[in-house]
Amino acid sequence: MENSDLLAIAEQYGSPVYVYDSAKIVSQYQRLSNAFSGVKKLKLNYAVKALSNLSILKLMKSLGAGLDTVSIQEVRMGLKVGVTPKNIIFTPNGVSLEEIEEVAALGVQINIDNLSILEQFGTKHPNIPVCVRINPHIMAGGNSKISVGHIDSKFGISVHQTPHIVRIVENTGMKINGVHMHTGSDILDIDVFIQASQILFDVAKQFKDLEFMDFGSGFKVPYKEGDIETNIEELGEKLTKRFNTFCENYGKDLELGFEPGKFLVSEAGHFLAKVNVVKQTTSTVFAGIDTGFNHLIRPMFYDSYHRIDNVSNPEGRERFYSVVGYICETDTFGVNRRINEIAEGDILRFKNAGAYCFSMASNYNSRFRPAEILWHNGEAKLIRKRETFEDLLANQVEVSLEAMVSIDK
């Protein structure tokens, strides 16, 4: 996308606004597919939680992707856009047995990550095939906030508890048709991922009726100039060889699954915000914009880096700015960033705004959530309207307080 395209979108739809480039999503999907072209059965299940707009789900369906879901609401969204139940996997954490049963009744693949629910579900529904999520006790990346494979993680069944899984399966007569792991986000070291995959291979040997193995995702994407990223091609070469060898020894061709979210949509996303004020203090120049962590919380929540540039003045002289929001909290997006000279009214663009950005937005400070735009075949398509004051009040119930309030004079 050109700066002129982004400026035109901001002019037409207002700011702040999220914009997603469909061509980038398609190219990322193709890149991952090509890296594992040596696997006979490959299944890419898009992680809906990354960006759950219905139009994005329809795009994923058109590419041949399934869906990785974590709530019954995400399951229903997938079904609404026409994804078949067999192409949806449900991988929740900490949900009730009743929710799992409700999803199972829809024909969706169930993935269970704790022994208690596994035994309860297997006892009541031994004929419904189940996948089990294993915690390999291996950290992904360097940020503990987005690593879920470590020993203290709430996610998954410890690899050391595999004998307990086997015991439950034998006692209930239930069928295990898949094994799964997810170590977390921002995987840098391919060999660490390969080490974790070997643990999953060892677990898989315990079950004789498997149909698939799901290796999660968490592939790192670049966030800044010269940033390192997961070498998908190297991973494809190394894991394909090991997976095919395992299938040969196992006696049948299993399906190899991944659940990419950030990898597919992060770089496709652009978040546009207008500069409300340029404020000079004794030590800092602030660029205050018409958004805050109510719309983009990742920098405050995860210490995430999003490159910020001035699409209104891309050739201007670079100066140092701290970019801050309009929320009555500390919502600093970047400190002392080199950005082309900023004037009030300019449009700033945050890169890597496709994953876990709008999907984590809120109405904090009673602000409206922004519009979403899909840039597809050179056209801007509105895929979510900007909220209004009526939307903000839609589910609130105003009650009479006259009989409740008593002031002692």
Cβ contact 16:291 at 8 Å? yes
Contact 145, 123 (CB under 8 A): no
Residues comprising the chain, all counted:
409
Contact 132, 180 (CB under 8 A): yes
Evaluate whether 341 touches 311 at the Cβ level (below 8 Å): no
Which of 131, 247, 328, 357 is catalytic? The answer is 328
List the structure tokens of 136.
């390999």
- Cα separation, 94 vs 68, in Å, equals 16
> 19 in helix, strand or coil?
strand
Q: How far is CA 77 from the centre of its chain?
A: 15
Separation of alpha carbons 344 and 279, rounded Å: 10
Query: What does 238-269 look like in DSSP terms, one character per residue?
Result: HHHHHHHHHHHHHTS-PEEEE--SHHHHTTTE
- Quote the CA–CA distance of 312 and 8 in Å, as a whole number: 11
CB 349 within 8 A of CB 282: no
Fill in the amino acid letter for 280.
Q
Closest CA to 373 of 3, 2, 8: 8
Helix (H) or strand (E) holding 60: helix 54-63
Among 131, 96, 133, 95, residue whose Cα is nearest residue 113: 133
Do residues 214 and 131 make contact, with C-beta atoms less than 8 angstroms apart? Answer: yes
Distances (CA, A) of 169 to 73, 95, 295: 29, 21, 45
Residue 131 annotated to the active site: no
Contact between 176 and 221 (Cβ < 8 Å) = no
Closest CA to 260 of 89, 77, 18, 39: 89
φ and ψ at residue 21, rounded to 5 degrees = -95, 110
Which active-site residues does the annotation give?
328
